[in-house]
Amino acid sequence: MADRILTLTLNPTVDIAAYAEAVRPVRKIRTRDETFDPGGGGVNVSRVLRELGGETLAIILAGGVSGRFLEELLDEGGVPRRSVPIAGRTRISHTVHDLSAGQEYRFVPEGPEIRESECAAAFAAMEEEAGGWLVASGSLPRGVASDFYARAARAAAQRGRRFVLDTSGAALKAALGHGLALIKPSRGEFEALIGRPLPSPEEQRQAALALAREGAAELVAVTLGHEGALLAGREGTLRLPALDVPVQGAVGAGDSFLAAMVLALSRGEPPHEAFAWGMAAGAAAVMSAGTAHPRRSDVEALRQRIGEVPPLSEGG
């Protein structure tokens, strides 16, 4: 079980995606080609890990009929799970692609409020399951203290487990410096964490490098959308441009990036190689509609396209 990668999703969702000819106010919007996916950060990571050949277990909070639907979707997809029951109903998110404008609209509810006993049960489940890596991803639902991920990181460190965090705001800030192997903020989340805009690549590089060298996390991966991504560690930094691929949807691209990067790290790949695999998986994800649907063959082909990647360096 040491090779197994656990994921923790405290605020999962059923993701519905559909197409509409046009999104306009007041009028009834007819949609078509609906897809239903199990979603939420850690859930997406587990789904992609399984697609890429990794061993995983998704730990989720699930409640109500929507929670049962989430479990059904995971089971249909062959994703191993451990559900922690909650009294509230699992949220349902909706993404609509406006074909006339070429825009994507995402509607994401805040989700249920979690009781203290349910939060404790989730923590216990995380502790009871075996796995060498633990990826905690997604927002904290209402009722969960902002230091939850910090406590989870400390508990993981005590067991010699590698802890990866993909969240934002107070929850991310509270966890810094508590033994994090990797954090993966988006550009907006990164700027909010630093507390100021970072318009230039050099400002982004310096800020990420400072975080890594201060011990906030061993590795800091900042996804920059169409500008690519930035990786920082104590040894230096590395920036890679975004791959030019046809875009069908962006939901779950960051989770796909994270899944591939963690899988490579868990297999002993150096950070720069793991970063390249993350870039390939993120690009593969946007090539497919729905939530986090990169195909393994696409990921492998895109990784070949990236070619040789240099290690982290002072001028990276």
Catalytic residues: 255
Which residue from 308, 183, 139 is spatially nearest to 240, judged by alpha carbons? Answer: 308
Supply the DSSP symbol for 248. S
Residues 6 or more apart whose Cβ sits within 8 Å of residue 49: 5, 7, 55, 56, 259, 262, 263
Which residue from 221, 299, 285, 218 is spatially nearest to 250, judged by alpha carbons? Answer: 285
Would the CA dihedral through 107, 38, 56, 144 be positive or negative?
positive
Supply the DSSP symbol for 226. G
Supply the DSSP symbol for 113. B
Q: What angle do CA 170, 13, 194 make, to 5 degrees?
A: 20
